[in-house]
Amino acid sequence: MGRTGDEGNIDGFLRDLKRLTKRYGLAVGGCGCMGSPFLAQIKGGKVVYENLTYCRVHEGYGTLADHSGCEG
């Protein structure tokens, strides 16, 4: 899939995500199926958090269950 939107923001986001991945040893992954996107440990690939979503109301990440009743 090609990039859309502000290239600078995307490049900066990916740079910061790389730093976070190295710092915490976790990577964001997904295959488009149940449980996607997810967080997985870099070493061993164990999935540690599934159905990751961003909630605009709470301004944070969680699962769909964490944000049940939210509209954003």
Taking CA atoms, 56 is separated from 21, 50, 62, 67, 72, in Å, by 23, 19, 11, 10, 5
Domain count, the chain: 1
Q: Are 62 and 39 in contact, with CB atoms under 8 Å apart?
A: no
Quote the pTM value: 0.70
Series of mean pLDDT values for 10-residue runs along the chain (72 residues): 69 94 93 83 91 85 76 59
Does residue 71 lie in a domain region?
no
- Is 57 part of a structural domain of the chain? yes
Residue 68, in any domain of the structure: no
Q: What pLDDT sits at residue 11?
A: 92
- The pLDDT of residue 42 is 93
The whole-number pLDDT of residue 1 equals 47
In a domain, 70, yes or no: no
Q: Which amino acid is at 28?
A: V
Structural domain including 11 reads 7-63
In a domain, residue 1? The reply is no
Is 49 contained in some domain? yes
In a domain, 69, yes or no: no
